[in-house]
Amino acid sequence: MFIEGIKIDIITESKRKFGRYISLLKEDGTKREISLIYGENNLGKSTLIKSIIYALGGEDLYGKSSWNDTIFPPIMYMINGESIIQNIIYLQIINKQNKRVTIARNALERTAPVIVYNDVAIEDIETSTSVEYYKIKKDIGIDGNKTFNDFLFQFFSIPEVQYEGIKVYFQNLLPLFIIPQTSWNDIQAVNPYYGVPELKQKAFEILMNFSTIENLSEKIKLKVKREELKEKKRSMEDLEDILLVFKYKTLIENQNAIESQKQELSEYEIELDEIENNKVEVNDSVRPLREKLRRLSNIARRQETQLDTLKKEIDEYNYYINKINLDIDKIDKLSTAKKIFSLIPIRKCPHCLNDISINEKSEIESNNCSLCGSDFMINNHPKSEQLYSYLLDEQKDFKKLKTVKEIEKTNIESKLFLLDLDINEIQSTLNELEIKLAPGYLKRYHFVSREIGRLNNELNNLTREQAIISKYDTLSQELESLYSEISTLVSALKGKNDENDDQDKLKYFTSEFKKFLKKLEFIKNGFDGSKLNEAADKIFNQITIDQTDYKPKIDRRNLFNITSSSGLIRIIISYYLSLLKTSLKKNTNFPCIIIFDEPRQQNLDKDTFNEFTKILKDLQKNYRGEIQIIYTSGNKGTLTNEDIVLDLGDDTFLIEEF
């Protein structure tokens, strides 16, 4: 992996353009081994490193909560008091196969697709004829196109690894070759944890290309195949229990039985058709009777329909007659009430106690109350004598219509009764004729019908059994295939014994680590006085890299725990430089790049920092075009101006207006 250039492109709401473009190549276009981002503090040097990390999908190295901060670079929403409407980071990289791409990532929307321009530099992306889009994250449980993480693994030819069912992401590898300011307190201090046990160790093994990683995919595949074999064997046992009750155990026997049953069924169906077609022609005397039976049945159905209609009409007449009777009763009650008035024993006025004379005859004739003089028809009953007469006429008419319909209903019922007698007589005659004329025909008809039903049931059962037998045979073939695959995987795993190669890499790594520690004078300046006394009996060459967590230790004690803060920085620098050196000599997946963010600010004295830069110059001299070291600092050490790719000086900011 080699980073050739980076560009931060910002546009504000007033269309002002801000940002920075930095080429990490030499003027002649060749690779630059050392790229120093030089300048005082708070000018944006770390923002550049964060932009590189963000372009590679590693923003979680800074913690998820940090990216919610609107002033957290490289995600900026305001600049010079203006809102930002566009903030895109471009990263131009090339892999070991000299395949060049430019990555473009939207810094305002983390979830926006990442754009990859193939075979072009940053300044030429508009001319690209091959552009790909990758989602940052794939929806859970949904298969789809490759994600940006998948692209990075494939682009850098690094095997994707799942450990105990959990995926190791590309950003889990970044802390082994990018050391931001927040990562100077431990090796891989900012590696995000995703529930993967021993995640940091696995990241180390992936980049070192240890056999545990090389064979891990095959081991996982073997485990999956064995689980699949277990499930299929259980299914086979269940099917074998079912097959015990089957008459036919193989597909061939079952298929032959089905063909035989179909042939027999076809013969019976043909015979049944012949019987059904001939039974009307048994005797000519049957045909007229059947025709008469059909005609009478049609007449009876029509009569029944007419009878139902008459019943509904009669019910409606009864309803209206009852309603009229109620109205008549109301008027009759009014007349009775008027007569009763004359019998009330009222002789004196209840108000003045004077005698009252009542003329019953006059009261009835006038319809006025002799006591109060009011009209009886007001407020007591709305019906007049005219209405009473009208109701009587209506009652008479409805009763007459009802009588007509009842007579018609009685006539139809009589006709239906006679029709039912005729139909029953004809049906009885037909039954006697069929039995007398063809006694063997009916017996054969019933037998053939029963056989057709039986054969259909047997065919259905045989078809279901065929599916089960077929599934059993398929499972048998799958089991044979699984046994073969498992045997092949087991043989392949037995044939691979790269543990010696792992030990050789680790031994070389340990040796280089000690060499860098010596150059940085770790024993002289790396311990506090009290801690040095505690480790006085330890010899420098006893420092080892633990084969479990790959941490530097002395007598199983972590070297970090017995050193000073400046000693810790020496350990971290030596550790990462050793990874770089090992990748140059051994077969690893390490990208041959290291990015240091402000190592000078981490309690390193001037002499040690100068020694650190001398080491970088030696690497530059010995590995032309093979390595890339990017670091930010406000101190050059022994580096020259030729190694500076961006000089911010004292007051030049990384993000400036174009």
List the alpha helices (DSSP H) in 520-591.
Answer: 522-525, 529-534, 565-585
pLDDT, average across residues 543-569: 84
Range name among 12-26, 431-445, 446-460 with the lowest pLDDT average: 431-445
Q: How far apart are CA 42 and CA 165, in angstroms?
A: 43
At 358, is the pLDDT very low, low, confident or very high (cuts 50, 70, 90)?
low
Is residue 497 predicted with pLDDT exceeding 60? Answer: no
For the segment 57-106, what is each residue's pLDDT rounded down to a tens digit? 988 888 765 555 444 566 778 888 889 999 999 999 999 899 999 999 99
Range name among 16-30, 78-92, 141-155, 486-500 with the lowest pLDDT average: 486-500
Q: What percent of the chain has pLDDT over 70?
A: 79
pLDDT, average across residues 374-390: 57
Q: Which two tokens stand for residue 77?
A: 């929403």
Q: How far apart are CA 189 and CA 319, in angstroms?
A: 96
Q: Which two tokens stand for residue 317?
A: 């007449």
pLDDT score at 2:
93
pLDDT score at 68:
53
Spatial CA neighbour of 238 closest among 491, 455, 468, 393 = 468
Range name among 168-172, 282-286, 420-424, 629-633 with the lowest pLDDT average: 282-286
Spatial CA neighbour of 557 closest among 527, 589, 600, 521 = 527
Is residue 12 predicted with pLDDT exceeding 70? Answer: yes
Q: How far is CA 544 from CA 60, 163, 204, 432, 556, in A?
A: 31, 26, 16, 112, 9
Q: Which two tokens stand for residue 529?
A: 């006085």
Q: Which two tokens stand for residue 149?
A: 């993480």
Q: Which two tokens stand for residue 477?
A: 């073939």
Q: Rounded to two decimals, what is the model's pTM?
A: 0.60
pLDDT score at 152:
92
Q: How far is CA 97 from CA 1, 125, 153, 174, 592, in A?
A: 9, 20, 14, 20, 14
The β-bridge partners of 375 are 368
Is residue 600 predicted with pLDDT exceeding 80? Answer: no
Higher pLDDT pick, 374 / 418: 418
Q: How many CB atoms lie within 10 A of CB 505?
A: 21
Residues with Cβ within 8 Å of residue 173, at least 6 apart in sequence: 158, 203, 206, 207
At 243, is the pLDDT very low, low, confident or very high (cuts 50, 70, 90)?
confident
Write the Ramachandran bin of 135: left for phi over 0, alpha for psi from -120 to 50, otherwise beta.
Answer: beta
For residue 434, the surrounding DSSP H or E stretch is helix 385-437
- Is 278 within 8 Å of 442 (Cβ atoms)? no
pLDDT, average across residues 524-538: 51
Q: Which two tokens stand for residue 482?
A: 């699984």
The β-bridge partners of 86 are 11
Supply the mean pLDDT for the chain.
81
CA 442 to chain centroid, in Å, comes to 63
- Choose the most confident range, by mean pLDDT, from 165-174, 379-388, 512-521: 512-521
